[in-house]
Amino acid sequence: MRRKQFLPALAAGLLLAAAARGQVAVRILSPEPGQPVFGATDVRVGVQAGPAIDRVEIYVNGELAGTARTPPYHVQIDVGEDNIQREFRAVAYTPTGATGSDSVVTQPVMINDEMNLRLRALFVSVTRNGQRALDLGREDFQVLDNGAPQEIVTFGRDELPLTAVLLLDTSESMQGKRQEAVRRGAKAFLDGMKPSDEAMLALFSDRLLRFTPFTSQKSTLESAIAGTQAAGGTAVNDFLYMSLKLLDARQGQRVVVLFSDGSDVHSVLPASDVLWKSRAGQALIYWIQLGGKHESFTSSWRDFKANDQEYRELEQAVRESGGRILTIERLEDLEGAFRNVLKDLREQYAVGYYPNNAKGDGKWHKLDVRVKGGARARTREGYADY
Amino acid sequence: MRVRTEGKLAGRPVLWLALVWLSAGLAAWAQPAPGTQKGSGTLGLRAGERLSPARIQEVYRKILADWSAGDTERAPDELIELESAVVSDADAGTRKVLLKAEQAVIHQVGAADLEVLVPIAVLHHEAYRRLLKRGFHGHALAMIHTRTMTRDLAILYHDQSGSEGASLVSSRLLTSLGGLLQQSAQQLPAAEMFQQAFTLDAKNAAALLGLAAIYEKNTQTESAVKLLRHVLEIEPGNAEAHLRLALNLRRQDHHDEAAKLLQELTASTDPSWVTPLAFQELARLDSDEGKTADAEKVLRQALRRYPNDLRLHVQLAAVLDRRGAPGEATALVEKALTLPAGEEAAARFLYNTVRPDAFAAARAFLDENSRSRLPVLAQALGAPPAPAGTGVGR
């Protein structure tokens, strides 16, 4: 409290001293440095100047957000609800063009307690002697988050609704038979969906050629596949990031099913952004590849080494998400691959827990799921604690 | 700009006799191209038809006469029909037959006036452009022939004339040819064309830029930087050269100079596809260096200028996600889905392939110079001249 009373008094003193020297002295009186701010925010500015003041402009994160023309200089600004750091800057102008300015940086709220309330859902595939084990109960599982045992609070299999993004490469190289095979593959996936499931279809090249909203209506999805002309290059990262981002706001079991050779030439985002997004989210990524082996290439954007690195990071994003890479050699196998993805998802156990060691610091949490009786479990490798 | 030289085709060694490009494995492309089925063309020629040299010469003269009369739509298609009929991918000798017959006609008309080489070269160039556009299955050797004819006629015209004007025309023919090759991902022959074009005209910025783009794509950034600096000496306001120089410098870890160049581009009023890319890459540079606040600022500025650019929305969303503003990031991605499909999103594709306007100036220059010489060609053939205003019509 003593500090709060002292600061305005000090500021006023400094302003008066500056005005006495004929300068334009500006101080932001509210908000205070370090204070968290959300929504409608009062910005109050003290100005002392020898000459008259024409106006005081208020900037938030470099954007002009408001202007006050008469004292007391006060503007109310809606800064939004995101819990982030913000920079407020006030610039005072005299009619002759002289200026003075001040800035204040506010901080986000540390919400460790809230983090403890965020349920983490793991989707776990379990095999025993090479076969799927589908008869397990909650008591058969143990979840270790950074080595710390967790209490399983939700458990089930094939109960949660599925939300999928079918992200299909429709670049120029996909013309003709390939595109027709992809259409059949996607249809096989859609045919296996339950009424409570939803999907979004996105056909991309270096552009977004066509997409649907999330819907359960198979006819909407199927008609979107038909009649799209394959054209252009490939931008996997950009559209995979978009898909993961759109799934953030969905509930239940979330998955991106990507069909592409993964040779990204045209994205503005690097694969590291996709990896980051995958680590921070809860969606699985399944990647169906035709031909399998990655071939190095150069582009105007990256050399061989950098493109190889991109490819590896994309593989890493899939692996860490708990999804799989399915490689097929023949177009005829594409339908089966899409069906296998759906089967894989249906046979997963959904295991939920509230992490007892969450801090919201963005650090990596390694996950380990153990199953009794010698069965093998596969799930996401970990997550970034945001 | 129209240039004209004086001279006749003398009995000097004909350079192009020695220039024959043959590719291995051509027989694999054995399917006829659309529009070249037997007897389907206006000349009624059948693929694989054994024409006598005299008949080939007769048909070639007719095609040149059509071209000189201003029939710019039909003549290139007729040339494709003739060359596809005579040349067989399975028999390299057929190309020699065609070459000799065409040479004989060119010698006859060139003896009257060397300037006829320009419209003849442009005719072959146009035929090659159409073949590329339609696909070349089954006619690889015919395609190589017409491309080689264009190149050799350009070089021949330059060598025989020796004038500065001839250098300009020949250089632009090779530049345009290089652009077509680059567009069809034939990097090495494209590079050779650009190199030759530059040799003929040291101020040919389009050829230098094309060559630099090939170096860039093949990871030879030092060579690319050198060429791009040269382009900017010739054309200081060339926005694409600025952008490519910045990105090549970044690949060499010269981040400060790269950032400076990109900032200049984002501050410019250049209306082309280069500017949104400059914004993207400047923000990328900031992000890579961990300066996400700067990246955010750049991208917000860019979105004010290009509110319908999908990539800028996605890029800003990714930056905001990392800066702890997932709500606004989601809103941006959702908004990106509602944007009208435009050409902005294709800019990154263009950068990696060929820009639409890159060789337009060279082609307009060729069209003008060919058109002005059509009466000379008509006269040499003893045919009626073209009506005024006739052009290739691309």
Tell me the pLDDT tens digit for each residue of A88-100: 999 999 888 888 8
Mutate to test the interface with A, among B348, B350, B351 (most CBs of A within 10 A): B348
B375 and B341 in contact (C-beta within 8 Å)? no
Q: How far apart are CA B294 and CA B190, in angstroms?
A: 39
Cβ <8 Å between A248 and B311:
no
* Residue pointed to by tokens 């919201």: A360
* Residue pointed to by tokens 């298609």: B77
Q: Are residue A210 and residue A304 in the same domain, yes or no?
A: yes
The pLDDT confidence band at residue A52, using thresholds 50, 70 and 90, is: confident
Give the nearest partner residue to A303 out of B219, B297, B326, using CB atoms: B219
First vs last Cα of chain B: how many Å apart?
A: 18
Give the nearest partner residue to A84 out of B310, B325, B346, using CB atoms: B325
Cβ within 8 Å of A, B 283-312: 284, 293, 296-297, 300, 310-311
Q: How far apart are CA B282 and CA B288, in angstroms?
A: 10
Cβ <8 Å between B333 and A277:
no
Q: Would you call A152 exposed, middle or buried from its count of C-beta atoms within 10 A (0-12, 13-18, 19+)? A: middle
Beta strand pairing status for A148-150 and A208-211? Answer: unpaired
Q: Are residue A250 and residue A374 in the same domain, yes or no?
A: no
pLDDT at position A18 over 60 = no
The pLDDT confidence band at residue A12, using thresholds 50, 70 and 90, is: low
Q: Are residue A126 and residue A177 in the same domain, yes or no?
A: no
Q: Are residue A228 and residue A337 in the same domain, yes or no?
A: yes
> What would the two tokens of residue A4 be?
């709060």
- Using the 8-state DSSP alphabet, how is residue A48 labeled? E
CATH number, position A19: 2.60.40.10
B262 and B278 in contact (C-beta within 8 Å)? yes
Does the beta carbon of B3 lie under 8 angstroms from any beta carbon of chain A? no
Q: Which domain holds residue A311?
A: 159-346
Q: Are residue A8 and residue A42 in the same domain, yes or no?
A: yes
Phi, psi of A367 (to 5 degrees): -110, 145
Q: How far apart are CA B128 and CA B177, in angstroms?
A: 9
Alpha carbon distances (Å) from B110 to A292, B120, B306, B365? 56, 10, 53, 22
pLDDT at position A13 over 80 = no
Rg (CA), chain A: 27
- Using the 8-state DSSP alphabet, how is residue A272 labeled? H
Phi, psi of A258 (to 5 degrees): -100, 130
Task: Read off the amino acid at residue A337.
Answer: A
Q: What is the largest CA-CA distance in chain B?
A: 78
Cα B375 to the center of its chain, rounded Å: 27
Q: How far apart are CA A347 and CA A340, in angstroms?
A: 10
Q: Are residue A169 and residue A236 in the same domain, yes or no?
A: yes
Cβ <8 Å between B247 and A208:
no
Q: Would you call A11 exposed, middle or buried from its count of C-beta atoms within 10 A (0-12, 13-18, 19+)? A: middle
Q: Which residue of B has its CA nearest to A273?
A: B318
A89-98: string of b/e by CB count within 10 Å (b at 16+)? bbbbbbeeeb
Cβ <8 Å between A266 and B334:
no
Q: Minimal CA–CA distance to B178: which of B197, B202, B153?
A: B197
SS3 at position A352:
strand
Q: How far apart are CA A342 and CA B120, in angstroms?
A: 61
Q: How far apart are CA B189 and CA B193, in angstroms?
A: 6
What percent of chain A is predicted at pLDDT more than 70? 91
> Could you tell me which residues are beta bridge partners of residue A196?
none
Alpha carbon distances (Å) from B111 to B8, B114, B381? 5, 7, 11
Alpha carbon distances (Å) from A146 to A316, A360, A365, A366, A370? 19, 14, 5, 5, 13
Measured between beta carbons, the chain B residues lying within 8 angstroms of A83 are 324
Q: Which residue of B has its CA nearest to A209?
A: B341
CATH hierarchy code of domain B273-356: 1.25.40.10
Q: How far apart are CA B266 and CA B182, in angstroms?
A: 28
Mutate to test the interface with A, among B244, B245, B299, B321 (most CBs of A within 10 A): B321
Q: Are residue A171 and residue A209 in the same domain, yes or no?
A: yes
Cβ <8 Å between A82 and B213:
no
Task: Show which residues on chain A lie within 8 Å of chain B, measured between beta carbons.
Answer: 61-63, 80-85, 108, 206-209, 211, 232-233, 235, 238, 241-242, 245-246, 248-249, 265-269, 273, 276-277, 280, 298-301, 303-304
Q: Minimal CA–CA distance to A300: which of A264, A261, A265?
A: A265
Q: How far is A46 from chain B (nearest CA, A)?
A: 27
A329 and A292 in contact (C-beta within 8 Å)? yes
Q: Are residue A223 and residue A366 in the same domain, yes or no?
A: no
Give the pLDDT confidence score for residue A17 in this predicted structure: 53
A123 and A365 in contact (C-beta within 8 Å)? no
Intervals of CATH 1.25.40.10 along chain B = 273-356
Cβ <8 Å between B300 and A276:
no
Q: Total structural domains in chain A?
A: 3
Mutate to test the interface with A, among B31, B273, B330, B349 (most CBs of A within 10 A): B349
Task: Read off the amino acid at residue B203.
Answer: K
A325 and A289 in contact (C-beta within 8 Å)? yes
CA angle A288, A292, A297 (to 5 degrees): 110
Q: Would you call A82 exposed, middle or buried from its count of C-beta atoms within 10 A (0-12, 13-18, 19+)? A: middle
Torsion-angle region of B309 (φ positive above 0: left; ψ -120 to 50: alpha; else: beta): beta
pLDDT in tens, A187-222: 999 999 999 899 999 999 988 888 999 998 888 888
Cβ <8 Å between B345 and A207:
yes
> Could you tell me which residues are beta bridge partners of residue A168?
A203, A259
Q: Are residue A215 and residue A319 in the same domain, yes or no?
A: yes
pTM score, two decimals? 0.75
The pLDDT confidence band at residue A312, using thresholds 50, 70 and 90, is: very high
Going residue by residue through chain B, which has 394 residues, state the pLDDT in tens, using 9 for 90 and above: 444 444 554 444 333 333 332 222 222 222 344 444 445 678 888 777 788 999 999 999 999 999 999 898 999 999 999 998 998 888 888 999 999 999 999 999 988 889 999 999 999 999 999 998 887 667 788 889 999 999 999 999 999 888 999 999 999 999 999 999 988 888 899 999 999 999 999 999 999 999 999 999 998 999 999 999 999 999 999 999 999 999 999 999 999 999 999 999 999 988 888 999 999 999 999 999 999 999 999 999 999 999 999 999 999 999 999 988 989 999 999 999 998 876 544 788 888 877 767 788 889 999 999 999 999 999 999 866 666 555 554 4
Give the nearest partner residue to B341 out of A63, A206, A207, using CB atoms: A207
Give the pLDDT confidence score for residue B345 in this predicted structure: 47
**pLDDT (mean) for A378-384:** 91
Length of chain A: 386
Q: Minimal CA–CA distance to A165: which of A56, A53, A285?
A: A285
CA angle A120, A122, A126 (to 5 degrees): 160
pLDDT at position A177 over 90 = no
Does the beta carbon of B89 lie under 8 angstroms from any beta carbon of chain A? no
**Residue bearing the bigger pLDDT, B129 or A23:** B129
Q: How far apart are CA A28 and CA A43, in angstroms?
A: 7
Alpha carbon distances (Å) from B150 to A128, B109, B329? 68, 17, 53
> Could you tell me which residues are beta bridge partners of residue A46?
A27
Cβ <8 Å between B321 and A245:
yes
Lay out the sheet containing A40-49: strands in order across. A24-30, A40-49, A73-78
**Residue bearing the bigger pLDDT, B280 or A298:** B280
Torsion-angle region of A352 (φ positive above 0: left; ψ -120 to 50: alpha; else: beta): beta
What residues contact residue B58 under an 8 Å CB cut-off, 6+ apart?
Answer: none
What residues contact residue B344 under an 8 Å CB cut-off, 6+ apart?
Answer: B273, B276, B306, B308, B309, B310, B311
B107 and B9 in contact (C-beta within 8 Å)? yes
Q: How far apart are CA A239 and CA A42, in angstroms?
A: 39
pLDDT in tens, B44-100: 887 777 889 999 999 999 999 999 998 989 999 999 999 989 988 888 889 999 999
Does the beta carbon of B313 lie under 8 angstroms from any beta carbon of chain A? no
Residue B300: CB atoms within 10 Å? 17
pLDDT at position A116 over 70 = no
Q: Would you call B120 exposed, middle or buried from its count of C-beta atoms within 10 A (0-12, 13-18, 19+)? A: buried
Q: Are residue A90 and residue A222 in the same domain, yes or no?
A: no
ipTM given for this complex: 0.77
Q: Would you call B181 exposed, middle or buried from its count of C-beta atoms within 10 A (0-12, 13-18, 19+)? A: buried
**Residue bearing the bigger pLDDT, A11 or A370:** A370
Angle between helices B239-251 and B221-234 (to 10 degrees): 150
Give the nearest partner residue to B314 out of A233, A266, A269, using CB atoms: A269
Q: How far apart are CA B56 and CA B52, in angstroms?
A: 6
Q: Which residue of B has its CA nearest to A267?
A: B348
B349 and B317 in contact (C-beta within 8 Å)? no
pLDDT in tens, A244-268: 999 988 888 999 999 987 788 899 9
Residue A341: CB atoms within 10 Å? 25
Give the pLDDT confidence score for residue B18 in this predicted structure: 32
Does the beta carbon of B318 lie under 8 angstroms from any beta carbon of chain A? yes
Measured between beta carbons, the chain A residues lying within 8 angstroms of B219 are 298, 303-304
Give the nearest partner residue to A80 out of B328, B341, B345, using CB atoms: B328
Q: Which residue of B has its CA nearest to A242?
A: B333
Give the pLDDT confidence score for residue A38 in this predicted structure: 82
B209 and B231 in contact (C-beta within 8 Å)? yes
Give the nearest partner residue to B310 out of A108, A208, A276, using CB atoms: A208
Phi, psi of A369 (to 5 degrees): -110, 125
pLDDT in tens, B315-361: 999 999 998 898 999 999 999 999 887 654 478 888 887 776 778 88
Q: How many CB pairs under 8 A join A and B?
A: 105
Residue A293: CB atoms within 10 Å? 6
> What would the two tokens of residue B102 be?
């065409």
Length of chain B: 394
Q: How far apart are CA A183 and CA A186, in angstroms?
A: 5
Looking at A249-321, list the stretches that DSSP marks H as alpha helix, in order from N- to C-terminal side: 271-280, 304-321
Give the pLDDT confidence score for residue A386 in this predicted structure: 79
Q: Are residue A260 and residue A176 in the same domain, yes or no?
A: yes
Q: How far apart are CA B362 and CA B367, in angstroms?
A: 9
A99-125: string of b/e by CB count within 10 Å (b at 16+)? ebbbebebeeeeeeeebeeeebbbbbb
Q: Which residue of B has its CA nearest to A109?
A: B324
Q: Are residue A274 and residue A173 in the same domain, yes or no?
A: yes
What residues contact residue B328 under an 8 Å CB cut-off, 6+ apart?
Answer: A80, A82, B317, B320
Cβ <8 Å between A266 and B280:
no
> What would the two tokens of residue A40 be?
């409608």
Give the pLDDT confidence score for residue A222 in this predicted structure: 82
The pLDDT confidence band at residue A105, using thresholds 50, 70 and 90, is: confident
Whole-number mean pLDDT of chain A?
A: 86
